[in-house]
């Protein structure tokens, strides 16, 4: 079982819709989680961090963490074509290194 | 604030040759990381430094990869000799400290081994 798992997608949503990206993790001791956006040919860019159960909002982005279910999600409201990218979920696992999922490719259709 | 700097941006070498990558972290960041990202996968940690000491190099192929951060600031990652499967993007990241801190990535070096 991978430590951090994501559906590879692509997830296709129309412009203006809410995109919902999901991630599960296997290590119950994981504490901190991050969402990175990666455009094709570019390096990962940090967009959200979440450290405690519940929701954290930043502009059009909301990160959700449920430690009981070992589940992390990212919601993007009012999706724009410029949001089309691969979204990487990452968490600090038991060996205290940042472990990444393989990413979910999001396509926002104009 | 300047971001993480890396060079070169692209490198093409033949198998069995050697190559070196350089990274300069964000000013004041004590922790530096090297990741390998193969197409279609998430970044995989190779090595992490706290100041000039190695914290985790458990996934570094030590028979061919080496890294150093002598003065606790910039770092060099070397591959010698390179194999075809080393073709990947090598990413450097830095953070204020260990564990739970946000990591910020440089632009990466795309290595092609032929």
Distance CA A25, CA B11 (A): 35
Question: Is B54 an interface residue toward A (CB < 8 Å)?
Answer: no
CB contacts of A4 in chain B (<8 Å) are 42
The per-residue b/e assignment along B17-26, b for 16 or more CB within 10 angstroms, e otherwise, is eebebebbbb
Cβ neighbors of B19 (< 8 A, separation 6 or more) are B11, B13, B78, B79, B80, B82, B111
- Name the stretches of chain B with pLDDT < 50: none
pLDDT at position A45 is 98
- Quote the minimal CA–CA distance from B12 to chain A in Å: 16
Asked if the model's pLDDT at residue A53 lies above 80, the reply is yes
pLDDT at position B55 is 93
Distance, first Cα to last Cα, chain B: 37
Taking an 8 Å cut-off on Cβ atoms, the answer to whether B102 and A45 are in contact is no
DSSP string covering A24-48? EES-TT---EEEEEE-TTS--EEEE
Q: What mean pLDDT value characterizes chain B?
A: 95
In 3D, which of A51, A16, A21, A17 has the Cα closest to residue A33? A51
Question: Is A49 an interface residue toward B (CB < 8 Å)?
Answer: yes
Q: What Å distances lie between residue A25 and A94, A97, A99, B56, CA to CA?
A: 11, 14, 10, 21
Torsion of CA A52, A54, A56, A61, to 10 degrees: 130
CB contacts of A32 in chain B (<8 Å) are 99-100
In 3D, which of A86, A41, A6 has the Cα closest to residue B10? A41
Distance, first Cα to last Cα, chain A: 37
- Tens of pLDDT, residue by residue over B20-38, are 999 999 999 999 999 999 9
Taking an 8 Å cut-off on Cβ atoms, the answer to whether A100 and B105 are in contact is no
Q: What Å distances lie between residue B40 and A103, B66, B83, CA to CA?
A: 8, 25, 19
CB contacts of B108 in chain A (<8 Å) are 43
pLDDT at position A95 is 66
- Quote the minimal CA–CA distance from A103 to chain B in Å: 6
- Tens of pLDDT, residue by residue over A16-46, are 999 999 999 998 888 899 999 999 999 999 9
- Measured from the Cβ of residue B11, the count of other Cβ atoms closer than 10 Å reads 18
Q: What mean pLDDT value characterizes chain A?
A: 94
- Averaged pLDDT, A77-87: 98
Determine the residue of chain B that is closest to A101 in CA distance.
Answer: B42
CB contacts of A90 in chain B (<8 Å) are 42
Taking an 8 Å cut-off on Cβ atoms, the answer to whether B104 and A46 are in contact is yes
């Amino acid at each position: 079982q991978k430590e951090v798992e994501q559906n590879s997608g692509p997830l296709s949503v129309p412009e203006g819709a809410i995109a919902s990206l999901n991630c599960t993790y296997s290590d119950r001791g994981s504490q901190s989680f991050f969402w990175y956006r990666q455009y094709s040919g570019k390096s990962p860019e940090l967009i959200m961090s979440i450290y405690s159960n519940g929701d954290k909002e930043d502009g059009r982005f909301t990160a959700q963490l449920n430690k009981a279910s070992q589940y992390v999600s990212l919601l993007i409201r009012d999706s724009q074509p410029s949001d089309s990218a691969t979204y990487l979920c990452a968490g600090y696992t038991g060996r205290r290194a940042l472990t990444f999922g393989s990413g979910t490719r999001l396509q926002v259709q104009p | 604030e300047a971001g993480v700097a890396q060079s070169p941006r692209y490198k093409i070498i033949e198998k069995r040759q050697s190559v070196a990558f350089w990274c300069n972290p964000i000013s004041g960041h004590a922790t530096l990381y090297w990741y390998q990202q193969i197409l279609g996968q998430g970044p995989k940690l190779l090595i992490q430094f706290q100041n000039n000491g190695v914290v985790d190099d458990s996934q570094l192929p030590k028979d061919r990869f080496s890294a150093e951060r002598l003065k606790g600031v910039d770092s060099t990652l070397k591959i010698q000799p390179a194999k075809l499967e080393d073709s990947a993007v090598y990413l450097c990241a830095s953070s204020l400290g260990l564990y739970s801190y946000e990591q910020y990535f440089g632009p990466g070096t795309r290595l092609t081994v032929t």
